Amino acid sequence: MRTFFTALGIVLYLIYSLILILISKFLRGETKQKFITKQVTMFAKTAFKLTGSKIEVKGLENIPDGPVLFVSNHQSNFDIPIFLGYLNKPLGFIAKKEMEKIPILSTWMRYIHCVFMDRSNVRNAVKSINDGIKILKNGHSLMVFPEGTRSHDGKIGEFKPGSFKLATNSGVPIVPVTISGSIDIMPKNKVEVRKANVKVVVGKPIEVSSEDKKKTPELAEKVREIIKENL
């Protein structure tokens, strides 16, 4: 029943959000951005609360002002609403190309500056990274899951170094984020929703330099170890 009511609640909220999308068409500039951020945060928290889960967040004070590249491990489809709802900073995501085809949801994803990436197409992947760099340089934060997919068992997989070019080529700091427990809400390849205890730990920001452009594998491993230590 929890799965049914969670899915129903999310679908109904998305349908209701059509009205909010219409309202946003009449807004401009900072007013529009604040409206979008508020609505996305409310939706994300609602989606999480529908699961009956509890959350503990540590280290929010480590998030600096200005744009950052959040880097996190990936356990569940609920990671994204958790981060949107509880990191207290507007952010978009590097998302798989398939999500661009989802009605309503894809509109909101574009609003928050998400980048859709087709990892099977090298040219598209490079373009997506360049688009992400522009978004960061324009003052918007992004989050990336460098494992490239959700974990089957909660353990952290290998980090692909390519996504770290988002930070080294834009000059924004990297903020490592560790999430645990979300895998218990909805494990990969499962459709059952269960309540769980989720913990999010935000690490201290890592400043990048031009030298790091040549050392993305080392940078990826450094960030991975920090995230792993907080798991």
27-77 tens-digit pLDDT: 999 999 999 999 999 999 999 999 999 999 999 999 999 999 999 999 999
Does residue 119 register a pLDDT over 90?
no
Strand order in the sheet with 115-117: 54-58, 197-202, 174-180, 69-72, 141-144, 91-96, 115-117
Q: State how far Cα 87 lies from the chain centre.
A: 10
* pLDDT number for residue 83: 98
Does residue 152 register a pLDDT over 90?
no
161-180 tens-digit pLDDT: 999 999 999 999 999 999 99
Identify the residue whose tokens are 């594998």: 217
* pLDDT number for residue 190: 81
Just give the CATH number of 2-229. Answer: 3.40.1130
Residues recorded for the chain: 231
Phi and psi at 147, nearest 5°, equal: -70, -25
Instruction: Give residue 111's pLDDT band: very low, low, confident or very high (50, 70, 90).
Output: very high
pTM > 0.85: yes
Q: Residue 208 and residue 138: Cα distance in Å, rounded?
A: 18
187-199 tens-digit pLDDT: 887 888 999 999 9
Instruction: Give residue 214's pLDDT band: very low, low, confident or very high (50, 70, 90).
Output: confident
* pLDDT number for residue 211: 83
When the pLDDT of each residue in the chain is averaged and rounded to a whole number, the result is 95
Q: Which residues of 90-122 are buried (b: 16+ CB within 10 A; e: fewer)?
A: bbbbbbeeeebeeeeebebbebbbbbbbeeeee
* pLDDT number for residue 187: 82
Q: Residue 227 and residue 188: Cα distance in Å, rounded?
A: 20
